[in-house]
Amino acid sequence: MAPLLEVQGLSLAFGGVQALDNVSLDVEEGSITAVIGPNGAGKTSLFNTISGFYRPQTGRILLEGTDITHRPPPKRAALGLARTFQNIALFRGMTVLDNIKLGQHVHMKTGLLAAGLYLGWAQREEIALREEIEHDVIDFLEIDHIRNAPVAALPYGLQKRVELARALAMKPRLLLLDEPVAGMNREETEDMARFILDVREERGITVLLVEHDMDVVMDISDHVAVLNFGREIGAGSPAAVRDMPAVIEAYLGHADAEADMPGASGAS
């Protein structure tokens, strides 16, 4: 079976800076795949290209065999691509509930006229939406106590969780998480790691994540790809990647250093 996401020979340059250089990556259906690498390695550029904000100069991106390289971001959402952002990008003027409701935007049909009149069909759709996210997202991520709170007032860790909730409400096939545990304390990190595993186990959603916290990466991912200076320098199981000389060098500077990288949690 073909991988859920295929990235083939992606290159992206900003002026003279080569952000991505012939990067290829396969994400198997049902897997948790991690992309790691030092700062400036091109991880976020890769994410932004996959979600459609940057146009690659060469290469292709296939989602379930469909070439999405030239589709605008909203079209990718409809095909089952969801993501979170490194610096939380919630809708700050709305409540938690409304933020999550927005996740289902592409799956709803109500148009302008029906929305304004709030008659039959529109109302049923809104109520069905409410029931669905209450059960599938709010209960699931244990955020029922804050559903009516304005997101701007929430602590950082909860905002991250709401962003995950919003992405889940999109009912994605593939979920991109950009540094899901960055800046969290240990307890919040453990909660988030558990939620990511649950997302895969209970929902069967495939996850692709960028993360600096090596403990989390090693614990939850099935497959790890390592980027440095826009190039892929290694890929494989967490255990295999951990021992690759090129990877150790990228992180520690020279190959003969002690390979204690996995312990360096929160390396940045």
Interface contacts to another protein, rule CB under 8 A = 14, 44, 48, 51-53, 72-75, 77-78, 82-83, 85-86, 89-94, 98, 101-103, 105-106, 108, 110-112, 115-118, 122-123, 125-127, 130-131, 134, 166, 170
- Length of the chain (residues): 268
Our CB check for another protein shows the closer of 122 and 226 to be 122
Our CB check for another protein shows the closer of 82 and 226 to be 82
Q: How far is CA 204 from CA 173, 174, 219, 220, 225, in A?
A: 8, 10, 18, 15, 21
Q: Residue 266, SS3?
A: coil
Our CB check for another protein shows the closer of 93 and 263 to be 93
Token readout for 267 is 């390396």
Residue of 66, 39, 61, 36 lying closest to 48 (CA atoms): 61
Buried/exposed code over 11-44 (b: 16+ C-beta within 10 A; e: otherwise): bbeeeeebbbbebebbbeeebbbbbbbeeebbbb
H-helix segments, 27-93: 43-50, 73-78
- List, in order, residues 6 or more apart from 201 with CB less than 8 Å away: none
C-beta of 203: minimal distance to another protein in Å? 18
Our CB check for another protein shows the closer of 146 and 224 to be 146
Our CB check for another protein shows the closer of 134 and 190 to be 134
Token readout for 161 is 């969780």
Return the number of other C-beta atoms located less than 10 Å from residue 84's C-beta. 23
Q: How many CA atoms lie within 13 A of 232 on its CB side?
A: 19
C-beta of 214: minimal distance to another protein in Å? 24
C-beta of 22: minimal distance to another protein in Å? 22
C-beta of 15: minimal distance to another protein in Å? 9
* Maximum distance among all Cα pairs of the chain, rounded to whole angstroms: 70
Q: Please, are residues 170 and 164 in contact by the beta-carbon 8 Å criterion?
A: no
**Pairing mode of beta strands 17-27, 5-14:** antiparallel
C-beta of 256: minimal distance to another protein in Å? 37
Our CB check for another protein shows the closer of 94 and 197 to be 94
Our CB check for another protein shows the closer of 74 and 204 to be 74
C-beta of 175: minimal distance to another protein in Å? 11
C-beta of 154: minimal distance to another protein in Å? 15
Return the number of other C-beta atoms located less than 10 Å from residue 266's C-beta. 15
